Amino acid sequence: MGKSFFKIYMIYTVLLLLGGAAVLVVGNNALNRYEREHEKAEAEKQASVTCAPTPTPEEIIVEKYRYSVELPEGLTARGDNVSEKSAENGRKTVIIETETPGFEVTVRDAYGNEAVLKDGEELETRNFRMTLPDNFRAVFNNSDKETSDYIVSVTENPEYKRCYSFADMPRMAEYAFTDALAAPDVVFYDNLGNMMKPVWEENSAYTRTEQTFADKIPADVMGEEEAFSYVKNWSLFMTDDLKPEGYDAYIFKDKNGNRVPYIEGMNTKGLTYTSKSPADHGFGVLAAFLLPDTALYKELRGWAYGEDIWTISKHKPYPAFSDEKIENFVMYGDIVFSADFSFTKRIDLWSGTNSIWYDHRLDTTSVRVFFIKNPDADADREWLMAEMVPLK
């Protein structure tokens, strides 16, 4: 029995040792597996952190500094950190985002001008207005926009007010350049193709009503002598001196009452004379130079058959013209042109109703005459007078 117990005891001891060893092996394996899994988890966690999206600068900026600025609708702020909201009542909201306090952005107007807007400062804008004949072509020098987009009105030129009914005359186009950071860098080309720049006045306006003139009437349009024949006949009519060819208009008598035949240029000292006019005061002659149905034609015809023409003056025969000048020629399309005429004529003004005496004087005339091509292509005269504007 003693040996049996010892044997059993030894077997039990061996079993305990084997069990302990097994426990150690299993525990160690579990520990190693846990450590491997922990290291793997840590590695995966680190990889996850490394691969996560990095916050963008915009997200960081939004959280730090955000500025809201109001600008006129026509201005545009430029920059990667700038965004705009829809405009209301002519104003727009600009959002500026920065990493540091304060901001500085470039602002551009609609006409190509730029300025720098800084935090705490304001931009000054001005409104400019330009008026040009609508046959002039205006362009921006520093912008690809069309100046025609800024035309706010087109009106008739008062000088041509009686010409629009018979010809396509230039009108006046008004441009409005609002919310400008500086004077618009604009140039225009006139009716002769010359390039010009507006000279802005103190009220930020520029007005040009006149066409650009040429020095004289081109010979292929009308000769100067022919051109003056129109205006001289009008002048003679207006002073009751226009007589049809062969009309015995002037009767000269000496101190004895004897009639003296008149020869142009003769010395009339000591002679008295009377003049008589045809029933229409020579309008029948003048009418051949006038475009019918114009306001000018109707006015002169009314003058011819009215009573006022008798009370204006009494004139010497064949009044002499001097200081004749034609200048400032403008061609409007193919059928209308104008030119300025000036000359001096010797006249005698009637200075009393009962006494017979006259006030000798020199009368200077300066007018702008508009000619239109004769609608009758077979007529002798290619051009007819359509309007006349007195010049200062």
H or E segment to which residue 29 belongs: helix 2-51
Residues whose CB falls within 8 Å of the CB of residue 153, separated by 6 or more in sequence, listed in order: 173, 174
Task: Indicate the burial class of 122 (C-beta count within 10 angstroms; 0-12, 13-18, 19 or more).
Answer: exposed
Query: Model confidence over 34-53: pLDDT tens digits?
Result: 566 656 655 554 433 333 34
Length of the chain: 392
Cα separation of 108 and 115, whole Å?
A: 7
Query: Model confidence over 189-227: pLDDT tens digits?
Result: 999 999 999 999 999 999 999 999 999 999 999 999 999
pLDDT at residue number 2: 53
Query: Model confidence over 283-302: pLDDT tens digits?
Result: 999 999 999 999 999 999 99
Residue 25 has pLDDT above 50, yes or no: no
**Domain spanning 224-390: CATH 3.10.450:** yes
- 133 band by pLDDT with thresholds 50, 70 and 90: very high
In the chain, residues under CATH classification 3.10.450 are 224-390
pTM for this structure?
0.72
Cα separation of 348 and 360, whole Å?
A: 5
Residue type, 79: G
Mean pLDDT (the chain, rounded): 83
- List Cβ<8 Å contacts ≥24 apart for 86-93: 93/68, 93/69
pLDDT at residue number 113: 94
- 12 band by pLDDT with thresholds 50, 70 and 90: low
Question: Higher pLDDT residue, 312 or 86?
Answer: 86
pLDDT at residue number 55: 45
Residue 60 has pLDDT above 50, yes or no: no
